[in-house]
Every structure is written in structure tokens, then in C-alpha cells.
Amino acid sequence: MLKTEEELLKKLSVADLERANMYAKDLGGGLQIVRSFPQGVTIFGSARLPQDNKYCVMAYKLGGLLAKNGHTVVTGGGPGIMEAASRGAYEIGGRTIGLNITLKHEQFPNPYLTDCLTFEYFFARKVSLAMAAKVFVFFPGGFGTMDELSEILCLMQEDKMPKMPVFLVGKAYWKTFDKIIKKMLEMGVIAKNDTGIFKITDDITEVVKAANKIGHPKISENFYDGFRQANEV
């Protein structure tokens, strides 16, 4: 039996209500900054890689190419891959958005951000990173990167978010992941068309071409708005 909102609120403790308000504040702040620029290219990857790592060098080049083509570069705002991509765009005058998060180690805003917001909660940050994007790019990373990748793939698989280009950059790194995907397909736990949600590549120009093909949507035309309306029951 469905209960009224008032009845449900009565069952929540003071701590529950405070927590819900904190969630809403974090998510609201993220959505506010997302609505301040056209959807761009969200780049994920490890915070632990040094700037001379080959993948950081690729991320730096990609950031520059995207900015030259007028695309906003969105990252988690920290060091490593995120810093490299941000710096590549920043150095030629591009817009670089950093959606940072408070962690005990290794996560601090890099100095190459034109806009920055720090989150308390991972889920609010992930929602904002997704809604900021028209193209997703995943460089090598650890648990955090894998968490973000698996959630994006799952949401696209289940039609819970618009299907957008997803690139996994670094064939040598992602080949093991590809083997796991093929094993999933062999066991029947995913469908054949699920394997087409992402593309593994070493060619960063593919990312730029995909972004150029989509073009430059207006700030007021976030893809999620039309998607939500089309999928409302």
C-alpha cells in the first residue's frame, strides 16, 4: 500500500533527513554547474599516473585537440590523467571543468581548471560527470575509473541514459577488459549488441571526430532532458 509523503517522512530519523538534505545539496550544486556550459567531453582516468606517463601525454594531446575544436573538457578535477587533459585544453584557452571530490589521499584540484566544484558524495559527482558529457573517454585507471565505466555501460545497456560514444583509450591496457567482455558474451550474461556500447582505441582523433559529429549543443539543450521526456511512463 502506498504511503503519503508525509507518512514516509515521519518514519525517517533526524539523521536520515540531514543526510537526504546533504545529498540534495551536493547533487543540486553539480547540476547547477552542468547547466552553465554546453555538454562537452568527459575524460576519466587514474589520478596516480605521473605527467610523463604515456597515457597522460595522450590525455594532454586530446585535451588540446578538443579545445581547438571548441569542445569543453570535463574531468574529475584531480591530478594524473585528469590534470593532463585539463592542462592540454587550458593552455590553448579552452574551457576545463573540474568536478572534484573530497578524499583522504591523492585527490586535489589541479591548477588547470576554469571552473571547479568539490563534491562530498561519489554518486552526485558521477551524475554530474555523466550529464556534462556528449562523449565519454576512459584512460587507464583503478577502482574509481572502473566504477565509473561499469556504471556508464550499465546505464546505457538498460536505456537509463542516452547512448553516447564511449572510448577506452589504450589498447594494451584495455585488452584484458575486452577479454572479460567476450567471456560475458560467451556465457550469455550480456547480449551481442552490448559489446558495441564502447570502442577500444589508441587513436585520440577518433574522440575528436565523434565530438565534432555531434556538434555543439546549446546550454539549454542537454540531451538528458529530451531523453527523460521520451522515456517517461
pLDDT, tens only, 191-209: 999 999 999 999 999 999 9
Q: pLDDT tens for residues 208-219?
A: 999 999 999 898
Q: How confident is the model at residue 128 (pLDDT cuts 50, 70, 90)?
A: very high
Would the pLDDT of 233 be above 60?
Answer: no
Q: Of 14-23, 144-153, 220-229, which gets the smallest average pLDDT? A: 220-229
| pLDDT tier for residue 112 given thresholds of 50, 70 and 90 | very high
H/E segment holding residue 154 = helix 143-157
Residue 74 binned pLDDT confidence (cut-offs 50, 70, 90): very high
- Predicted pLDDT at 1: 40
Average pLDDT over residues 98-113: 83
Q: Which domains does the chain have, with CATH numbers?
A: 40-213 (3.40.50.450)
Q: Which strands make up the sheet holding 133-138, listed edge to edge?
A: 115-119, 96-101, 73-75, 40-44, 133-138, 166-169, 199-201
Average pLDDT in the chain: 92
d(CA 36, CA 67): 17
- What percent of the chain is modeled with pLDDT above 90? 80
Give the pLDDT band (50/70/90) at residue 228: low
Ramachandran area for residue 93 (φ above 0: left; ψ -120 to 50: alpha; else beta): left
Cα–Cα distance for residue pair 118/100, rounded to 1 Å: 4
- Residues 139-178: tens digit of each pLDDT: 999 999 999 999 999 999 999 999 999 999 999 999 999 9
What is the structure's pLDDT at 81? 98
- Grid coordinates representing 65 are 585537440
